[in-house]
């Protein structure tokens, strides 16, 4: 038997729902900001910066050679070696390394020396220590690129605040660290972010892929734009270019107040980048669990949950993990096994009515996230106006949430022009293989093979 959700909780969760009218308003806002970001005159004041990636060619499936990839974007980073054999055949090995907490808020030299140490360690493990290899560097933080191998960090996000990196060329910082070691030979041939890596990785298998999307710790999207629409570009002649939107900053100018809640404002207040990445804070995995915790805490204090009895853990910031949302929503209707486990972990006691209410709150938060992402993707699809588009997607929220994909497909379909077809493709190998492919395409253009 399905336990009913409390009417008062339903009513109080209404503010988390993105209505059809709000979707249209959000899409219009995003398109305006996107066009500002592409404009030479308006870019300085745009929230959505539309950074040029300098990647104009997508993979054709025939790339060959051995390539390294480095994928830095959170508390862990991945080093990969990808052996491309042509005709979409490849071998790949990878290893995950941790970024210790003190390095996330330390100095530039310490962070990049650590990364170089791990690169050398990986090359030894893979028996390529004496080889000269090309590397693609995925750097999943807001980056202003000045070329394929030059990118300045705009600002740290996702809990990082390393001194001496903002405004600096991160490729040079990594090259300097490799040089300080003096024992490995690596040519860094491209820097990109995880959305671009995801797009490249999916485009290698599906030539229809034109959008890369991340919904994980953070959220961002990139897409293929016609060169005549990119006023900021002043390089060699080309037809198209991948644009890294950096859409997480949408709303930094106050434009999202029409859908923000008091919980969103509380999340922002306690963040280390207050007033920044407003859209991302309403969507991504770094904040989703905390949003649910704040709602649960308020409703408990108001006597709507757990007989008004909270717990020390429920009062503690970050204790409600985002993966709890996926676990709770994975329970079959009427079965609250996972939900009960999570509630007990938090030191709370609950009945089935509480479980039904907690599940409903999780659904409201995750559905809002999926709808916010869908507004941005529908806007990009309509802007590109191609007959058929594949969106390459990666990130833990999209990958592990039981309903996120279906929520997105339904909402995008509702707001994309009816004559346009689209599909969402999960990136199997993450943005790491994409970084190797960017390096491979760069080498292909130069007529050389790495390794």
Q: What is the mean pLDDT of the segment spanning 404-424?
A: 98
Q: Write b or e for each residue in 239-268: b if 16 or more Cβ atoms lie within 10 A of its Cβ, otherwise e.
A: ebbbbbbbbbbbbbeebbeebbbebbeebb
HSE-CB of 265 using CA atoms within 13 angstroms: 8
Highest mean pLDDT among 88-102, 139-153, 378-392: 378-392
121: in domain: yes
pTM across the whole model = 0.90
| Contact criterion met (CB below 8 Å) for 60 and 181 | no
To which H or E segment does residue 136 belong? strand 132-139
- Per the DSSP assignment, residues forming a β-bridge with 125 are none
259: in domain: no
CATH of the domain at 103: 3.30.420.40
Of 173, 178, 213, residue with least CA distance to 195? 213
- Is 433's pLDDT higher than 90? no
Band the pLDDT of 430: cuts 50, 70, 90. low
Backbone angles phi, psi at 196, to 5 degrees: -65, -40
Band the pLDDT of 389: cuts 50, 70, 90. very high
Q: Which pair of tokens denotes residue 294? A: 């704040």
Quote the pLDDT of residue 195: 92
* 3-class secondary-structure state, position 146: strand
To which H or E segment does residue 214 belong? strand 209-215
Quote the pLDDT of residue 404: 98
Tell the residue number behind the tokens 């990118």, with chain if given: 151
- Is 151's pLDDT higher than 60? yes
Q: Tell me: the pLDDT tens digits for 89-118? A: 788 999 999 999 999 999 999 999 999 999
To which H or E segment does residue 96 belong? strand 90-98
Quote the pLDDT of residue 2: 66
* 3-class secondary-structure state, position 347: coil
Band the pLDDT of 53: cuts 50, 70, 90. very high
83: in domain: yes
- Per the DSSP assignment, residues forming a β-bridge with 83 are 66, 91
Contacts of 150 (CB under 8 A, 6+ apart): 169, 171, 172, 191
Average pLDDT of the chain?
93
Active site residues: 158, 194
User: Using alpha carbons only, what angle is made at residue 115 by residues 110 and 120, rounded to the nearest 5 degrees?
Assistant: 125
What's 218's DSSP letter?
S
User: Using alpha carbons only, what angle is made at residue 157 by residues 40 and 270, rounded to the nearest 5 degrees?
Assistant: 120
To which H or E segment does residue 350 belong? none
| Contact criterion met (CB below 8 Å) for 138 and 427 | no
Q: Tell me: the pLDDT tens digits for 157-176? A: 888 899 999 999 999 999 99
Q: Write b or e for each residue in 404-424: b if 16 or more Cβ atoms lie within 10 A of its Cβ, otherwise e.
A: beebbeebbeebbeeebebeb
Quote the pLDDT of residue 445: 64
Query: β-strand 421-426 against 388-394: which pairing, if any?
Result: parallel
Cα 429 from chain centre = 15
Q: Tell me: the pLDDT tens digits for 274-329? A: 999 999 999 999 999 999 999 999 999 999 999 999 999 999 999 999 999 999 99
| Contact criterion met (CB below 8 Å) for 290 and 284 | no
Tally of structural domains, the chain: 1
Residues in the chain: 451
| Contact criterion met (CB below 8 Å) for 192 and 139 | yes
Of 164, 112, 177, 171, residue with least CA distance to 147? 171
56: in domain: yes
**Domain span including residue 92:** 51-204+429-446
User: Using alpha carbons only, what angle is made at residue 309 by residues 304 and 310, rounded to the nearest 5 degrees?
Assistant: 100
């Amino acid at each position: 038997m399905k336990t009913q959700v409390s009417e008062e909780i339903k009513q109080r969760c209404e503010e988390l729902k993105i209505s059809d009218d709000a979707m249209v308003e959000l899409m219009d806002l995003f398109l305006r900001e996107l066009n500002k970001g592409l404009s030479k005159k308006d870019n300085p004041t745009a929230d959505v910066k539309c950074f040029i990636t300098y990647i104009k060619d997508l993979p054709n499936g025939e790339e060959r050679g051995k390539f390294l990839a480095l994928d830095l974007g959170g508390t862990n980073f991945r080093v990969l070696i990808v052996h491309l054999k042509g005709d979409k055949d490849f071998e790949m090995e990878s290893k995950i390394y941790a970024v210790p907490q003190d390095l996330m808020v330390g100095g530039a030299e310490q962070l990049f020396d650590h990364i170089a140490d791990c690169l050398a360690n990986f090359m030894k493990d893979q028996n390529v220590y004496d080889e000269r290899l090309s590397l693609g560097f995925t750097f999943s933080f807001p980056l202003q690129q000045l070329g394929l191998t030059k990118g300045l960090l705009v600002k740290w996000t996702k809990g990082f605040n390393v001194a001496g990196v903002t405004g600096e060329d991160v490729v040079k910082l990594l090259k300097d660290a490799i040089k300080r070691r003096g024992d490995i030979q690596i040519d860094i041939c491209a820097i990109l972010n995880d959305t671009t890596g995801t797009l490249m990785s999916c485009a290698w298998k599906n030539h229809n892929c034109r959008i890369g999307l991340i919904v994980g710790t953070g959220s961002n999207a990139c897409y293929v734009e016609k060169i005549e629409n990119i006023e900021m570009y002043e390089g060699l002649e080309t037809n198209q270019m991948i644009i890294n939107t950096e859409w997480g900053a949408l709303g930094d100018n106050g434009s999202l107040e029409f859908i923000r809640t008091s919980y969103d404002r509380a999340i922002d207040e306690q963040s280390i980048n207050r007033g920044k990445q407003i859209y991302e804070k309403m969507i991504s995995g770094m904040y989703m669990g905390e949003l649910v915790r704040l709602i649960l805490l308020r409703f408990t204090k108001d006597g709507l949950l757990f007989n008004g009895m909270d717990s020390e853990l429920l009062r503690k910031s970050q204790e409600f993990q985002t993966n709890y949302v996926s676990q709770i929503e994975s329970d079959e209707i009427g079965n609250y096994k996972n939900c009960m486990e999570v509630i007990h972990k938090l030191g709370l006691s609950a009945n089935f009515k509480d479980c039904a209410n907690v599940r409903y709150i999780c659904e409201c938060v995750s559905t809002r996230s999926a709808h916010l992402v869908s507004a941005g993707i529908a806007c990009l699809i309509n802007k590109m106006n191609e007959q058929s588009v594949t969106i390459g997607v990666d990130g833990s929220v999209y990958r592990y949430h039981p309903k996120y994909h279906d929520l997105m497909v339904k909402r995008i379909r509702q707001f994309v022009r009816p004559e346009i077809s689209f599909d969402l493709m999960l990136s199997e190998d993450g943005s790491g293989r994409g970084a190797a492919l960017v390096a491979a395409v760069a080498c292909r253009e130069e007529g050389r093979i790495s390794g």
